[in-house]
A and B are shown apart, each in its own frame.
Chain A
Amino acid sequence: MIEVNNLHKSFTASKQKVKALDGLSFVAKDGEITGILGPNGAGKTTCLRTLYGLLKADEGSAVIDGINVSDRPLEARARLGIFPDKFGLYERLTAYEQIDYFASLHGLHGAAKKEAIEQVIKDLDMQELAHRKTQGFSQGQRMKVTLAQALVHQPKNFVLDEPTRGLDVMSTRVLRNYLAKFKAKGHCILFSSHVMQEVAALCDRVIIVANGKIAAEGTPQELCDLAGEAVLEDAFVKLIGSDEGVAA
């Protein structure tokens, strides 16, 4: 379970203070896919980076399975599977070697590691890619490798920052199916995206973030009802445009 409590974070850019997070709070429960929706610059990536322990909040806390990230970042990260905003690959390593590398970083070794790697390769249907160097991989293939390395240690919590960006339909489907399977196993999934259809189809609960705080929260249907719109996209625009009275 991921809990974010009253997160505040400011940056100073060109002597001007920019408030990226302004008291953001939410809970992503186990066995659910929680979506974070928000316009560009709303604070999604800052929030997720605070969750990884890369940024320190000015105020508030991020807690993963009861572990406060700022107090024990390494323990908290061990419980996370991360699919970051910008994902790159080690292009001189094969896909298998990359997954192996991340499995070892999470402390897996010996037969258990081998089994975990083979399982994730099978689940993502990437046997043909496994022993090829990742240089020249397509966007979909790169996504699969990143997904595999983030999930090889079977993390209880999985955080994805706009994972479907640049993916074709087939690759998006692979990702969706895999997330659905993960959810069924009782894992906690936090998912940030710009694609409304995807969020509507996949997420159990949606958190709409604007100006560093929550603008609205609920199931996709609840959000549509709240905004009085039939489609999530229209609801999103309405909620972002006038959050007055909605968050209450």
Chain B
Amino acid sequence: MIQLKALITKEFKEAFRDKRALMVAMMMAVLAPVMIFVGSKTMIKELVETPPVYAKFAGAEYAPKLMKQLKAANILSFADVPADEKILWDERNIEITIPDTFAQNMLDGEMIDIILRTDYSDKAINAPIRRIKDEIRNYARAIGYKRLLVRGVDIRLLRPVNLIEQNTALPSSNAVFISMMLGLYLLMAAFMSGLPVAIDSSAGERERNVLEMLLCQPVSTLKIVLAKLLCASSVAFLAVVLTLVLTSFSVGFVDLTKIGATFSLDAFTVVVLILLMLPICFFASALQLFFSFQAKSFKEAQSTVTMIIMLPAMIPMALMFMDDKPKWLDWLPVSGQSLLMEDLFKGIPINWAAFGTTSLVTIAMTVVLVVILATRLKSEKVVLALS
């Protein structure tokens, strides 16, 4: 016990005195709320606002009423484009051609061809095109309805079926984009924050020639690994808690009601998230220690172990594209936690069986990694790699 206490104390002292590594470790916790704040603001802006669209009109003078309606919908003439956006809209090049026969054809009740010409493959102008098309259709539909009405035809005849859409989404599931970002950031924080500490206490110690000295002491390699694991995972866990606290604080500054969404991290959600992330912090650190102890140098450890942090980013992304998720994904580390977080954020009741299984599997895999690592540290290969 004296040995383990000494090992743990030393690891914590070293980790918390390395200000630069600690700063990198905590960067994730600070970065996540800022990114979520900015991301939410941008999304609300896109959903709520209708920014001006500038189109090059030919024959605008032939359809003044149509032009008035388009103007009301913030679809303006290219002549009005502000100087700073001129190049952008010139490149987008949306052309609308109104024929000179517009007024006469309208009078005669003949079909009028308005040409909308642009590069439809450009994703950036999807939204402006959709707005132009909707507005012209609305204009045409309104005139069509009036024509039928004055002829004594009930316009309801044009709608034999009326589709009534009812949104059953809970208010909080409208904030899914924030939740998904938070889930991703929590996993990233667990994997990224302990990284500098894990590498420094393994490959770093080897490079500084202190590992051999430690391995010569009358202390079991299991205790050495456990102390290093506890330290790295504590830093990771601290970052996860900090991410949660700062995110709930920063989201408070975003008015989600504008898009009919609510987002709040109540005590229950926070506790569940913390319990969910705790085994992941240990698993991530064990994985990092495992690989960085195998590395021949600090630099090699950095490049190898950095690849591991791709895991939390890749797995939730891959899950998003999978329609039929195999059952075993519920139990595996990272994927299990990711799916449970998704449910939690959508307001779906927690599947406690999956919660327990994924946590147990994560802990079991961590234990296996620790035992293998402790055995490897006794091997001659590791000792020979010291010099």
Flag whether B213 is at the interface (Cβ < 8 A). Answer: yes
Q: A55-B383, A88-B209, A90-B210 are in contact. Are A105 and B3 (CB under 8 A)?
A: yes
Interface of B is mostly: helix
Which of A49, A75, A85 touches B218 (beta carbons < 8 Å)?
A: A75
Flag whether A97 is at the interface (Cβ < 8 A). Answer: yes
Interface residues of B toward A: which range?
A: 20 to 34
Query: Considering the complex, which residues of chain B in the window 1-39 have a beta carbon less than 8 Å from any beta carbon of chain A?
Result: 2-3, 5-7, 9-10, 13-14, 17-18
Q: Is there contact, CB below 8 Å, between B13 and A97?
A: yes
Query: Considering the complex, which residues of chain B in the window 103-130 have a beta carbon less than 8 Å from any beta carbon of chain A?
Result: none
Flag whether A23 is at the interface (Cβ < 8 A). Answer: no
Interface stretch, picked from A76-84, A121-129, A233-241, is A76-84
Q: Is there contact, CB below 8 Å, between B387 and A91?
A: no
Q: Mark A76-119, 1 if CB is under 8 A from B, else 0.
A: 01101010111111111100010011101111110000000000
Residue of B nearest to A78 (CB): B218
Residue of B nearest to A11 (CB): B384
Which of B6, B14, B210 touches A105 (beta carbons < 8 Å)?
A: B6
Q: A101-B6, A104-B2, A105-B218 are in contact. Are A55 and B380 (CB under 8 A)?
A: yes
Q: Mark B201-241, 1 if CB is under 8 A from A, else 0.
A: 00001001110110111111000000000000000000000
Q: A55-B380, A107-B3 are in contact. Are A93 and B10 (CB under 8 A)?
A: yes
Q: Is there contact, CB below 8 Å, between A107 and B10?
A: no
Q: A54-B215, A93-B10, A105-B219 are in contact. Are A86 and B3 (CB under 8 A)?
A: no
Which of A49, A82, A97, A106 touches B213 (beta carbons < 8 Å)?
A: A82
Which of A75, A78, A89, A108 touches B210 (beta carbons < 8 Å)?
A: A89
Q: A11-B384, A56-B380, A82-B216 are in contact. Are A92 and B2 (CB under 8 A)?
A: no
Q: A54-B212, A82-B213 are in contact. Are A92 and B13 (CB under 8 A)?
A: yes
B-side residues, CB < 8 A to A, are 2-3, 5-7, 9-10, 13-14, 17-18, 205, 208-210, 212-213, 215-220, 380, 383-384, 386-387
Extra pairs beyond A77-B218, A105-B3 (18, CB < 8 Å): A49-B383, A52-B216, A80-B216, A84-B209, A85-B212, A86-B387, A88-B208, A88-B210, A88-B213, A90-B210, A92-B13, A92-B14, A92-B17, A92-B18, A93-B13, A93-B14, A104-B2, A146-B213
- What are 30 A-to-B residue pairs whose CB atoms are below 8 Å? A54-B215, A54-B216, A54-B380, A55-B380, A56-B380, A74-B218, A74-B219, A75-B218, A77-B217, A78-B218, A80-B216, A82-B217, A85-B212, A86-B386, A87-B209, A88-B213, A89-B208, A90-B14, A90-B208, A92-B13, A92-B18, A93-B17, A101-B6, A101-B9, A101-B10, A102-B217, A104-B2, A105-B6, A105-B217, A107-B3
